[in-house]
């Protein structure tokens, strides 16, 4: 009975303050939306990865790989000598088709039934075979290809369409489907020989897949030749997923920041709702309702509002996720491996997590307000100034707590660890610590403003005076705005520094004037590499104006740690200068690289496995199996966060049997004419029987930077969304303050204050809050950028870099804070002229 009464009273209160409630709901909706969208995106990416692995590997439990693919004859021999095993040879490659990255798999249709990966569509399958991929069709057409339903639909392919890949033309002869449609998105399937031809891997298969029991696997692994390796499929998948982990943690952390700012909003609203009703609460206490009853009321209110808002937030999250997913997939493709994800995947667990985070954080944020409602003697609760007095005595304690947090955060940050989670923990603690210091700091700042400017005009003094005397509200609003603005500054500096470093690195790395890429580039930056002959290379070198050339080939290298990209380099005279050393060998890194059994490793690899010059690393070679190499040096490389190796051509040729060349760097004689030289190089390149692209270093540089910018588009989107939440925060704080003080404004007006003066007061208050937030945001922003650059980036990507401060960023940040505060003040100012004086004066 009493409870029902209490709730009716609450309901009436909130119905009378709809805007305030709506704003806070909107804040939670956005906060939950952002977090949920990131959760969904990450989950969808993981899920897509699992599905596409399923489509690719089917029931295959193990695979045999070799240091440099497996020649057809060896594969056939192995299959023949193990008649009890079902073995499927596979060719897999990535290619660009109509501008879209696709995966082309070559398989033996007669061996597929055991693996259960693909099902041809009934309408197109041959009548005599339901489980085999259209045998007769494969035999009929020249270079027949099958596309999955999803791929055909997305690329708008219909049967009989010609498919141009590499130098060959293929024909789409059918479609197939997999258990899950999303699993086979981006997948094309063909016969092994066609795949070999299309991907320039004639005479070789990439792996042999098998369904093995553990015992069979153990037995088999002992009998394999040294050049071959048996891998569990699950193992490979786990390694690949681990690669994107850092990236996903980054996204999650960004989204949690948005939720943190959202928490401020709910705290603000609930505190406001309690302060507004302090008289009502006091009266209720006086008539005998226990403190716990009032506490319960406020908590229930928070629970109900946040539940509604979180539910809507989930829907918003699903919408944002669609967009976010595209951006993330792009980044994963740019940075890690090819992943085709088109559909978001909604798991009830992810949605539940979003809901719990939303409701949990709101209820947590409301506890302070609920305690406020329940605590204090009833008489004291009637006094507004008592609340402010309490806040004032609380400020130094908040400062102290903030300093403790900051110290703790710093300690965590310096703690020698590679843990990314720990790094983000430190960052969050530092942000919270600084946030706790902000109310005290802004009070000081406002007092200072008051002493400096308060004497100038009564309006100024009134405006600033009521800001400081409403610190319980203003302090928090300033803190929320400052944190959000500082996050945009921190991220801006981080991205800026990163870009600057990548720019410098590209300039240093791209030393040659021209680069020739041979074969098809597949969009991952890797070339399927073409066969060249030494005679052709010799002629290239002799072209008038060409100083000298270097050649490179990127292959997969299996090492004792993981599989990495291995650059096989035949250096030119200037190749050495394209490496920036982060760790050199006492005997001279380049010297060693050129002359000894050694390799160069990139920074992320060195960081991840704590390697340095002189360390040993084992590579899985074609001729001798496991062979140890000395690390001759560690070089800077922003090209891959997974890590890369470099080996000199002559050493590679000793252990591997792969004479292909993927790219050629051409250095032009300083005296020669660039234009005529490149024309001659182009003409010479055209004589090759394989496709080749000639590009100058400037355009490669620009393209690489474009990819870099693409990588950070997710971060940018999240940053602006967070800023949006913060804006709502400052808006609702100002609104709450002015709603609460509507009577004061009415009194001022009744005492002869003009609308103009009152608007000035609001404008001044908004500006003062903006100034305080802007000033306080700058140190935090700088601190955040340092932590992002030197801790988070190193731990999530393995890249170190110098921080560069774009000078314009600081005034920009300040203006951003000022502008959002000013904007937030517009509505209260407008509302002022519409309020009824009498009804405000009447109420007490």
Partner 1 sequence: MSQPAVEVTGITHRYNTASQRPILNDLSLSLAAGETLALVGASGSGKSTLLNLIGGLEPVQEGYVRVFNETLHDANNALRTELRRSIIGFVYQAFNLIPTLSVVDNIRLPLALAGVHKTEQDKRINRLLDTVGLTDKKNAFPDVLSGGEQQRVAIARAVVHQPALLLADEPTGNLDASTGQQVLNLLQSLVAEHNTTLLMVTHSLKVANCADRILAMNDGQLVEMNDNTDSINTW
- Asked whether position 676 contacts partner 1 by CB under 8 A, the answer is no
Min separation Cβ 743 and partner 1, Å: 7
**How far is Cα 301 from Cα 363, in angstroms, rounded to an integer?**
9
What is the three-class DSSP state of 654? helix
Min separation Cβ 389 and partner 1, Å: 9
- Asked whether position 747 contacts partner 1 by CB under 8 A, the answer is yes
- Asked whether position 749 contacts partner 1 by CB under 8 A, the answer is yes
Burial status of residue 170 (CB atoms within 10 A of its CB: 0-12, 13-18, 19 or more): buried
Using CB under 8 A as the binding rule, the residues of this chain from 74 to 133 that contact partner 1 are: none
Classify the phi-psi angles of 604: left when phi > 0, otherwise alpha if psi is within -120 to 50, otherwise beta: alpha
Using CB under 8 A as the binding rule, the residues of this chain from 157 to 216 that contact partner 1 are: none
**How far is Cα 32 from Cα 724, in angstroms, rounded to an integer?**
13
User: Binding string to partner 1 for residues 785 to 824, with x set by CB under 8 A, is what?
Assistant: ----------------------------------------
Pairing of strands 616-621, 625-635: antiparallel
List 113, 755, 805, 830, residue binding partner 1 (CB under 8 A): 755
- Asked whether position 453 contacts partner 1 by CB under 8 A, the answer is no
- Closest to 782 measured CA to CA, from 430, 486, 421, 418: 486
User: Binding string to partner 1 for residues 704 to 743, with x set by CB under 8 A, is what?
Assistant: ---------------------------------------x
From the list 155-163, 527-535, 537-545, 747-755, the region that binds partner 1 by CB under 8 A is 747-755
- Asked whether position 754 contacts partner 1 by CB under 8 A, the answer is yes
Min separation Cβ 383 and partner 1, Å: 5
Burial status of residue 360 (CB atoms within 10 A of its CB: 0-12, 13-18, 19 or more): middle
* Integer angstrom CA distances of residue 408 from 411, 414, 433, 568, 786: 5, 10, 9, 47, 17
Name the CA dihedral angle for 635, 638, 640, 644, rounded to a multiple of 10 degrees.
-10
From the list 33-41, 183-191, 288-296, 830-838, the region that binds partner 1 by CB under 8 A is 830-838
For the record, the structure tokens of 398 come out as 């908040």
**How far is Cα 146 from Cα 127, in angstroms, rounded to an integer?**
17
- Asked whether position 753 contacts partner 1 by CB under 8 A, the answer is yes
- Asked whether position 384 contacts partner 1 by CB under 8 A, the answer is yes
The dihedral built from the CA positions of residue 790, 793, 799 and 805, taken in this order, carries a sign that is negative
**Closer residue to partner 1 (CB): 622 or 744:** 744
- Asked whether position 276 contacts partner 1 by CB under 8 A, the answer is no
List 383, 608, 618, 710, residue binding partner 1 (CB under 8 A): 383
**Closer residue to partner 1 (CB): 682 or 743:** 743
CA 121 to chain centroid, in Å, comes to 37
Runs of H (alpha helix) within 454-509? 458-469, 471-509
**Closer residue to partner 1 (CB): 222 or 843:** 843
Q: How many CB atoms lie within 10 A of CB 168?
A: 14
List 626, 696, 744, 786, residue binding partner 1 (CB under 8 A): 744
**Closer residue to partner 1 (CB): 156 or 834:** 834
Phi first, then psi: give them for residue 379, nearest 5 degrees: -65, -40
Min separation Cβ 286 and partner 1, Å: 17
Using CB under 8 A as the binding rule, the residues of this chain from 388 to 417 that contact partner 1 are: 388
Min separation Cβ 796 and partner 1, Å: 48
* Integer angstrom CA distances of residue 171 from 137, 189, 317, 444: 11, 12, 41, 75
User: Binding string to partner 1 for residues 454 to 473, with x set by CB under 8 A, is what?
Assistant: ----x--xx--xx--xx---
Min separation Cβ 713 and partner 1, Å: 47
- Asked whether position 838 contacts partner 1 by CB under 8 A, the answer is yes
**Closer residue to partner 1 (CB): 700 or 747:** 747
Q: How many CB atoms lie within 10 A of CB 204?
A: 17
Query: Which chain residues interact with partner 1 by CB under 8 A?
Result: 382-386, 388, 458, 461-462, 465-466, 469-470, 743-744, 747-755, 757, 833, 837-838, 841-844
């Amino acid at each position: 009975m009493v409870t029902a009464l209490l709730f009716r009273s609450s309901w009436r209160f909130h119905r009378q303050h709809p805007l305030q409630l709506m704003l806070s709901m909107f804040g939670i909706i956005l906060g939950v939306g952002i977090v949920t969208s990131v959760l969904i995106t990450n989950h969808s990416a993981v899920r897509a990865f699992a599905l596409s692995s399923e489509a690719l590997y089917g029931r295959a439990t193990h695979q045999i790989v070799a240091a440099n693919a497996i020649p057809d004859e060896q594969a056939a021999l192995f299959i023949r000598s193990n008649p009890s095993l079902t073995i499927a040879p596979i060719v897999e490659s990535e290619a660009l088709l109509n501008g879209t990255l696709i995966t082309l798999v070559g398989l033996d249709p007669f061996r597929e039934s055991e693996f259960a990966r693909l099902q041809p569509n009934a309408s197109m399958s041959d009548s005599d075979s339901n489980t085999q991929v259209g045998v007769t069709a494969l035999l009929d057409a020249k270079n027949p290809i099958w596309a999955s339903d999803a791929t055909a639909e997305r690329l708008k392919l219909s049967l009989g369409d010609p498919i141009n890949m590499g130098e060959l033309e293929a024909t789409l002869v059918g479609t197939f489907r997999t258990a899950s449609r999303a699993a086979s998105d981006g997948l094309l399937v063909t016969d092994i020989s066609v795949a070999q031809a299309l991907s320039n891997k004639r005479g070789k298969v990439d792996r042999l897949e098998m369904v093995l029991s553990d015992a069979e696997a153990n037995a088999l692994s002992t009998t394999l030749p040294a050049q071959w390796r048996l891998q569990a499929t699950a193992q490979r998948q786990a390694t690949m997923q681990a690669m994107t982990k850092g990236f996903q943690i980054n996204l999650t952390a960004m989204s949690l920041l948005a939720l943190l700012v959202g928490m401020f909003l709910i705290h603000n609203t609930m505190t406001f709702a309690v302060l507004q009703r302090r008289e009502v609460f006091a009266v209720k206490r006086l008539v005998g309702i226990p403190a716990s009853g009032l506490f319960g009321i406020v908590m229930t209110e928070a629970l109900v509002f946040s539940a509604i808002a979180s539910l809507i937030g989930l829907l918003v999250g699903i919408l944002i996720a669609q967009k976010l997913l595209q951006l993330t997939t792009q980044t994963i493709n740019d940075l890690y491996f090819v992943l085709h994800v088109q559909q978001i995947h909604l798991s009830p667990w992810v949605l539940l997590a979003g809901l719990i985070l939303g409701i949990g954080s709101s209820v947590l944020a409301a506890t302070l307000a609920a305690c406020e409602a329940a605590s204090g003697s009833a008489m004291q609760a009637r006094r507004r100034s008592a609340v402010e007095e309490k806040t004032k005595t609380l400020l130094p304690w908040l400062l102290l707590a903030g300093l403790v947090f900051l110290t703790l955060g710093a300690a965590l940050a310096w703690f020698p660890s590679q843990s990314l989670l720990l790094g983000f923990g430190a960052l969050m603690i530092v942000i919270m610590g600084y946030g706790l210091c902000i109310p005290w700091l802004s009070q000081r700042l406002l007092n200072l403003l008051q002493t400096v400017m308060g004497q100038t005009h009564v309006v100024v003094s009134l405006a600033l005076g009521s800001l400081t005397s409403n610190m319980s509200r203003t302090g928090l609003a300033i803190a929320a705005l400052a944190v959000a603005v500082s996050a945009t500054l921190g991220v801006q500096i981080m991205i800026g520094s990163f870009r600057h470093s990548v720019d410098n690195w590209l300039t240093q790395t791209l030393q040659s004037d021209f680069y020739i890429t041979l074969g098809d580039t597949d969009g991952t930056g890797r070339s399927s590499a073409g066969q060249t002959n030494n005679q052709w290379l010799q002629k290239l070198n002799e072209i008038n104006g060409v100083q000298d050339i270097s050649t490179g080939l990127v292959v997969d290298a299996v090492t004792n740690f993981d599989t990495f990209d291995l650059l096989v380099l035949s250096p030119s005279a200037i190749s050495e200068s394209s490496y920036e050393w982060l760790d050199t060998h006492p005997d001279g890194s380049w010297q060693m690289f050129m002359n000894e059994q050694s390799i160069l490793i990139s920074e992320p690899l060195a960081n991840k496995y704590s390697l340095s010059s002189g360390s040993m690393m084992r590579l899985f070679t074609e001729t001798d199996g496991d062979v140890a190499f000395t690390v001759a040096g560690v070089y800077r490389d922003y090209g891959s966060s997974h890590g890369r190796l470099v080996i000199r051509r002559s050493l590679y040729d000793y252990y591997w049997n792969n004479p292909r060349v993927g790219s050629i760097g051409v250095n032009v004689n300083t005296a020669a004419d660039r234009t005529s030289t490149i024309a001659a190089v182009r003409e010479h390149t055209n004589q090759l029987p394989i496709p080749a692209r000639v590009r100058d270093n400037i355009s490669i540089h620009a393209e690489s930077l474009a990819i870099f910018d693409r990588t950070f588009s997710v971060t940018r989107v999240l940053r602006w969304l967070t800023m949006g939440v913060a804006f709502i925060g400052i808006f609702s704080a100002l609104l709450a303050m002015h709603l609460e003080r509507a009577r004061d404004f009415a009194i001022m007006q009744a005492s002869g204050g003009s609308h103009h003066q009152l608007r000035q007061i609001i404008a001044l208050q908004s500006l003062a809050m903006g100034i305080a937030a802007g000033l306080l945001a700058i140190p935090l922003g700088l601190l955040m950028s340092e932590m992002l650059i030197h801790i988070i980036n190193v731990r999530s990507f393995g890249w170190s870099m110098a921080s560069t401060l774009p000078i314009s960023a600081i005034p920009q940040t300040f203006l951003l804070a000022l502008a959002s505060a000013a904007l937030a003040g517009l509505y209260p100012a407008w509302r002022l002229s519409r309020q009824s004086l009498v009804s405000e004066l009447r109420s007490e």
